[in-house]
């Protein structure tokens, strides 16, 4: 899914740049008729440099966020790492402390699902309770249940107790 989103962003960017180049090349011919070589240099600047200056500030933050999404463990049990945690992890109880905008700030949706920051208090009954905070894609169907104080059953990654997955089997 994440690779598909990245591919779509790149594909639409390329199409937009090609369309811009076609439009500007037609205008460039008109400029060249009136300004000679200056119009040609202006055309190169507008077709090559301007799109780079416009597109890069938009694409780079998107790519950074998508990389973070790809590297995050899916709290709701999707993905190979989440499945591993569900199989090998320790059972624990969690209390939802807060649901906020993602850690990068602002609202982001991926396939119309919000990407939010969840803060949980984890208690496995053996170790002292601790808090974890992470970003996750939250299914809209589950969003109404995620209110502060909500009790959740989770599995804790034995290798990294900061990684947890919602245990929907209990």
Query: What are the domain boundaries of the chain?
Result: 2-71, 80-166
Residue with the larger pLDDT of the pair 78 and 86: 86
**Whether residue 106 has pLDDT greater than 60:** yes
pLDDT value, residue 26: 62
What confidence score (pLDDT) does residue 61 get? 74
Return d(Cα 49, Cα 107) in angstroms, integer.
30
Q: Which of 2-16, 73-87, 130-144, 151-165 has the lowest mean pLDDT?
A: 2-16
Instruction: Report CA-CA distances (Å) from 151 to 81, 86, 120, 166.
Output: 23, 18, 10, 11
Q: How far apart are CA 51 and CA 23, in angstroms?
A: 13
Closest CA to 69 of 13, 6, 157: 6
The first and second tokens of residue 107, run together, are 């609202």
Residue 130 has pLDDT above 90, yes or no: yes
**Distance (Å) of CA 116 to CA 99, 100, 107, 140:** 7, 6, 8, 11
CATH code at 80-166: 2.40.50
Q: What is the DSSP letter of 104?
A: T
pTM of the shown model: 0.58
Tell me how far apart the alpha carbons of residues 51 and 46 are, in angstroms, rounded to a whole number: 7
């Amino acid at each position: 899914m994440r690779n598909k989103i990245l591919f779509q962003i790149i594909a639409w960017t390329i199409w937009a740049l090609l369309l811009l180049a076609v439009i500007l090349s037609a205008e460039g011919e008109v400029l060249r008729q009136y300004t000679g070589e200056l119009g040609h240099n202006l055309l190169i600047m507008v077709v090559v440099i301007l799109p780079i200056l416009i597109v890069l500030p938009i694409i780079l933050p998107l790519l950074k966020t998508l990389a973070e999404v790809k590297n995050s463990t899916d709290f709701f049990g999707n993905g190979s790492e989440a499945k591993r945690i569900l199989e090998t992890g320790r059972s624990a109880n969690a209390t939802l402390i807060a649901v906020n905008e993602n850690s990068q700030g602002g609202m982001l949706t991926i396939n119309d699902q919000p990407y939010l920051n969840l803060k949980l208090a984890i208690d496995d009954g053996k170790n002292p309770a601790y808090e974890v905070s992470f970003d996750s894609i939250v299914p809209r169907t589950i969003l109404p249940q995620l209110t502060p104080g909500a009790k959740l059953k989770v599995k804790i990654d034995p290798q990294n107790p900061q990684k947890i997955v919602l245990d929907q089997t209990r």
